[in-house]
Chain A
Amino acid sequence: MKFLRKIFDNAHEALNKSEKTKKYFPLVDAIDTLLFTPNHTTQKGAHIRDAIDLKRTMMIVIIALIPALLFGMYNVGYQHYLAVGEANPSFGEAFLHGAIRVLPLIVISYAVGLGIEFLFAIKNGHSVQEGFLVTGMLIPLIMPIDTPLWMVAVGTAFAVVIGKEVFGGTGMNVMNVALTARAFLFFAYPTKMSGNEVWISGLKEMKTNGSLADGITGATPLGDLAAIGKEGATFSNLNQFLEAKHGLMDLFYGFYPGSVGETSVLAILIGAFLLLFTGIGSWKIMLSFFTGGYLMALLFNLVGGSDYLELPAIYQMMLGGFMFGLVFMATDPVTAAQTGTGKFIYGFLGGAMAILIRVVNPAYPEGVMLAILIANVFAPLIDHMVISANIKRRLKRVKTA
Chain B
Amino acid sequence: MSKTIKIRKGLDIRLIGEADKVKVDAPVAKTYAVKPADFHGLTPKMLKKVGEEVKAGTPIFFDKYRDKIQYVSPVSGKVKEIKRGAKRRILEVIIEADSTIEYEAKNVKPVNQMSSEEVKETLLASGFWPMIKMRPIDIVADPKDEPKAIFISGFDTHPLAPDYDFLIHGQDEAFQTGIEALKKLTKGKVHLQLRGNADKAFTSVKGVEINTVTGVHPAGNVGVQIHHIDPINKGEIVWVVNAQDVAMIGRYLITGKFDATKYVALTGSRAKNRKYFKTIIGAELTDLFKENVNLDNTRVISGNPLTGVKVEPEAGYLGYYDYQLTALPEGNKHKFFLTEGWLSLGFNKFSASRAYPTWMMPKSKRYDIDTNLNGEERAFVVSEQYEPVFPFDIYPVHLIKSVIINDIDAMENLGIYEVAPEDFALCEFVCTSKIESQSIIRKGLDVILEECM
Chain A positions near chain B (C-beta within 8 angstroms): 1, 4-5, 33-42, 44-57, 59-60, 127, 129-131, 168-172, 277-280, 282, 333-334, 336-340, 343, 383, 387, 390-391, 393-394, 397-398, 401
Q: Which residues of B contact A39 (CB under 8 A)?
A: 331-334, 372
From B438, which residue of chain A is reached at the shortest CB distance? A45
Question: B107 on the interface (CB 8 Å rule)?
Answer: no
CA distance A84 to B100 in the complex (A): 99
Q: Is the interface of A mostly helix, strand, loop or mixed?
A: loop
Contact check: which of A46, A50, A337 meets B350 at CB < 8 Å?
Answer: A50
State the 7 A-B residue pairs at the shortest beta-carbon distance, nearest first.
Answer: A53-B375, A171-B379, A51-B349, A37-B341, A338-B383, A279-B354, A36-B334
B233 touches A398 (CB 8 A): yes
If A59-B343, A279-B353 touch, does A48 touch B397 (CB 8 Å cutoff)?
A: no
If A48-B328, A340-B387, A390-B393 touch, does A57 touch B381 (CB 8 Å cutoff)?
A: yes
Question: B307 on the interface (CB 8 Å rule)?
Answer: yes
CA distance A42 to B375 in the complex (A): 10
Chain B positions near chain A (C-beta within 8 angstroms): 13, 15, 159, 231, 233-234, 299, 301, 305-308, 310, 326, 328, 330-337, 339-343, 346, 349-356, 358, 369-376, 378-384, 387, 393-395, 397-398, 413-415, 425, 428-434, 436-439
CB of A151, distance to nearest CB on chain B (Å): 29
B353 touches A45 (CB 8 A): no
If A37-B375, A39-B331 touch, does A46 touch B438 (CB 8 Å cutoff)?
A: yes
Q: Which residues of B contact A169 (CB under 8 A)?
A: 379
Contact check: which of A50, A59, A130, A131 meets B351 at CB < 8 Å?
Answer: A50
Query: Could you name 6 residue pairs across A and B whose Cβ atoms are closer than 8 Å?
Result: A36-B341, A39-B333, A47-B326, A55-B343, A282-B384, A339-B395
The residue among A49, A278, A334, A387 with the most chain B CB atoms within 10 A of its own CB is A49
CB of B114, distance to nearest CB on chain A (Å): 31
CA distance A278 to B376 in the complex (A): 21
If A51-B346, A277-B354 touch, does A57 touch B306 (CB 8 Å cutoff)?
A: no
From B437, which residue of chain A is reached at the shortest CB distance? A45
Q: Which residues of B contact A390 (CB under 8 A)?
A: 393-395, 414
A46 touches B231 (CB 8 A): no
B381 touches A280 (CB 8 A): no
From A276, which residue of chain B is reached at the shortest CB distance? B354
B375 touches A55 (CB 8 A): yes
From B301, which residue of chain A is reached at the shortest CB distance? A47
CB of A134, distance to nearest CB on chain B (Å): 10
From A35, which residue of chain B is reached at the shortest CB distance? B337
B378 touches A57 (CB 8 A): no
Contact check: which of B336, B384, B397, B430 meets A50 at CB < 8 Å?
Answer: B430
Q: Which residues of B contact A129 (CB under 8 A)?
A: 378-379
CB of B367, distance to nearest CB on chain A (Å): 9
CB of B374, distance to nearest CB on chain A (Å): 5
Q: Which residues of B contact A41 (CB under 8 A)?
A: 299, 330-332, 371-373
CA distance A56 to B381 in the complex (A): 13
CB of A23, distance to nearest CB on chain B (Å): 18
If A51-B356, A56-B342 touch, does A1 touch B336 (CB 8 Å cutoff)?
A: yes
A343 touches B384 (CB 8 A): yes
A49 touches B415 (CB 8 A): no
Q: Which residues of A contact B430 (CB under 8 A)?
A: 50, 52
CA distance A197 to B387 in the complex (A): 48
Q: List 18 additional A-B contacts (Cβ < 8 Å) besides A35-B336, A278-B355.
A: A1-B339, A34-B337, A37-B335, A37-B375, A40-B372, A46-B438, A47-B371, A48-B159, A49-B373, A52-B432, A53-B434, A279-B353, A339-B395, A383-B398, A387-B395, A390-B394, A394-B415, A397-B231
B379 touches A42 (CB 8 A): no
Q: Which residues of A contact B393 (CB under 8 A)?
A: 390, 393-394
Q: Which residues of B contact A1 (CB under 8 A)?
A: 336, 339
Q: Which residues of A contact B234 (CB under 8 A)?
A: 398
CB of B251, distance to nearest CB on chain A (Å): 31
Contact check: which of A38, A168, A398 meets B376 at CB < 8 Å?
Answer: A38
Q: Which residues of A contact B341 (CB under 8 A)?
A: 35-37
The residue among A48, A171, A394 with the most chain B CB atoms within 10 A of its own CB is A48
A44 touches B306 (CB 8 A): no
A333 touches B328 (CB 8 A): no
From B417, which residue of chain A is reached at the shortest CB distance? A394
B233 touches A397 (CB 8 A): yes
Q: Which residues of A contact B346 (CB under 8 A)?
A: 51
A278 touches B353 (CB 8 A): yes
A401 touches B233 (CB 8 A): yes
A280 touches B355 (CB 8 A): yes
A338 touches B397 (CB 8 A): yes
Q: Which residues of A contact B307 (CB under 8 A)?
A: 46
CA distance A340 to B385 in the complex (A): 10
A51 touches B351 (CB 8 A): yes
The residue among B231, B331, B339 with the most chain A CB atoms within 10 A of its own CB is B331
A56 touches B355 (CB 8 A): yes
Q: Which residues of B contact A391 (CB under 8 A)?
A: 413-414
Q: Which residues of B contact A397 (CB under 8 A)?
A: 231, 233
Contact check: which of A45, A47, A130, A277 meets B439 at CB < 8 Å?
Answer: A45
From B435, which residue of chain A is reached at the shortest CB distance? A45
CA distance A49 to B383 in the complex (A): 18
Q: Which residues of A contact B373 (CB under 8 A)?
A: 38, 40-42, 49
From B349, which residue of chain A is reached at the shortest CB distance? A51
Q: Which residues of B contact A34 (CB under 8 A)?
A: 337
Contact check: which of A44, A52, A131, A333 meets B353 at CB < 8 Å?
Answer: A52
CB of B12, distance to nearest CB on chain A (Å): 13
Q: Which residues of A contact B231 (CB under 8 A)?
A: 397
B384 touches A394 (CB 8 A): no
B414 touches A48 (CB 8 A): no
Q: Which residues of B contact A47 (CB under 8 A)?
A: 299, 301, 305-306, 308, 310, 326, 328, 371
CB of B331, distance to nearest CB on chain A (Å): 5
If A53-B375, A57-B355 touch, does A171 touch B413 (CB 8 Å cutoff)?
A: no
Contact check: which of A5, A48, A55, A343 meets B342 at CB < 8 Å?
Answer: A55
From A279, which residue of chain B is reached at the shortest CB distance? B354
CA distance A286 to B18 in the complex (A): 41
From B308, which residue of chain A is reached at the shortest CB distance? A47
Q: Which residues of B contact A340 (CB under 8 A)?
A: 384, 387
